[in-house]
Amino acid sequence: MAIATELHARRYEVDDALAANELFQRNGWTDGLPIVPPTPELVGAALEWLGLAPDEIVGIEPVRGIAITAEVVAINAVMAGCLPSFVPVVAAAIAAMCEEPYLLHGSSASTGGSAPLIIVNGPIRQEIGMHASHNALANGSRANATIGRAVRLLLINALGCRPGTLDQSTLGHPGKYTYCLAEDEEHSPWTPLAQERGIPAGTSAVTVLAAEAPRQIMNEWTEDPEELLETYAAEIRANMLHYSIWPGNYVIVIPKQHRDILAAAGWGKRAVREYLYRRARVRRGDWHAAGKSAIARRGDPAQEYAAFETPDDALIVAAGGPAGGFGAIIPPWLGNRGRAVTRAIGACVEC
């Protein structure tokens, strides 16, 4: 295969796949889980599907000026277990993470311990078998699992984000193994997230955000849209007081049971955003009840803080199984320091 001869990465000869895995584990090139050996043939196949030459640049990490090549993306995607058809999603996510507003270096080095959350929209979800209903935030799809993992392995291997060195996360969270969510566009009456953020309908896209772990809420006791969303707002308020009070992009995951209630009342994403914008607010004095009197005392206790500077900062995603009143709020790593970035897959929308 032609591409296999153009690859620049150093080559290692090992006995078999198990030996390859042991080599990679010893070298610190994995997340601790077994990897698929990135042979030149597998990497070549990934690059063919991606349609890029090995040394073409997918993105440049802006702080250190590190050029991330298609080859290194393909190697880490193969290791993660991606099929070739998944690799364009991985590449789009990496390119989006290299855009300044995402703040890749700061967010992946921070003691705050965030993970790159990848939200996928458009036809590619069906083409590659992503899952968006049952267990939407966990396992169930090879594509979801391996796309999220590929991004993480690339951060470890190409950018050196290893715990205790560049990655100073105090705790991190399990999303750092994989954190990839598809929107359930087929079972939602609402506009897909990427389309709301400017991607043309029918074009596949990723939205990436340096994010904390999901906070799950439960409400199965009301048909009133405001009451229902109040539970989400309360969880955001708790995050503001317990974790970080600063405003930013929160991802709001709304399952079918809740979407049906909201839609029946005529509420679309805009109404949901506007409600949360009004209600996700706390006062400085509220910090006293959360063990933070030291900072509560530094200002006016009546001073109000909002989770959203504008309703558009709330990113609503329809996902989750058909039964169960369980939704989630996913907070940003640190307010507006890292912003969500949306990017088309395999197409240049601004060209």
Partner 1 sequence: MSIVVLDPTLAYQPPAARLAPRLPEIAGRTIALLDNGKKNVAPFLDAVEALLRERYGAGEIIRARKPNQNAPAPPELIAALAHADAALSAVGD
Which residues make up the interface to partner 1 (CB under 8 A)? 7-17, 20, 23-24, 29, 37-40, 43, 63-69, 72, 75-76, 79, 103, 105-107, 110-111, 153, 157-160, 334, 337-338
Distance CA 169, CA 182 (A): 26
Q: Which is nearer to partner 1, 9 or 347 (CB)?
A: 9
For CA atoms 188, 341, 196, 331, the dihedral sign is: positive
Q: What is the phi-psi region of residue 113: left when phi exceeds 0, alpha when psi lies from -120 to 50, beta otherwise?
A: left
* Shortest reach from residue 40's CB to partner 1, in Å: 6
Q: Which is nearer to partner 1, 47 or 217 (CB)?
A: 47
Q: Which is nearer to partner 1, 102 or 232 (CB)?
A: 102
Q: Which is nearer to partner 1, 150 or 328 (CB)?
A: 150
Residue 234 has phi, psi (to 5 degrees) of -65, -35
Asked whether 217 and 235 are in contact (CB, 8 A), the reply is yes
Q: Give me 140's structure tokens.
A: 């169930």
- The H or E element containing residue 49 is helix 40-50
* Shortest reach from residue 166's CB to partner 1, in Å: 12
* Shortest reach from residue 43's CB to partner 1, in Å: 6
* Shortest reach from residue 15's CB to partner 1, in Å: 6
Q: Locate tokens 């996902």: which residue? A: 319
* Shortest reach from residue 14's CB to partner 1, in Å: 6
CA distances from 120 to 114, 147, 253, 331 (A): 19, 10, 13, 18
* Shortest reach from residue 36's CB to partner 1, in Å: 10
Q: Which is nearer to partner 1, 200 or 299 (CB)?
A: 299
Contacts of 216 (CB under 8 A, 6+ apart): 326, 327, 328
Q: Which is nearer to partner 1, 30 or 141 (CB)?
A: 30
Asked whether 250 and 272 are in contact (CB, 8 A), the reply is no
Strand order in the sheet with 326-330: 215-218, 326-330, 250-254, 314-318
Q: Which is nearer to partner 1, 10 or 300 (CB)?
A: 10
* Shortest reach from residue 1's CB to partner 1, in Å: 13
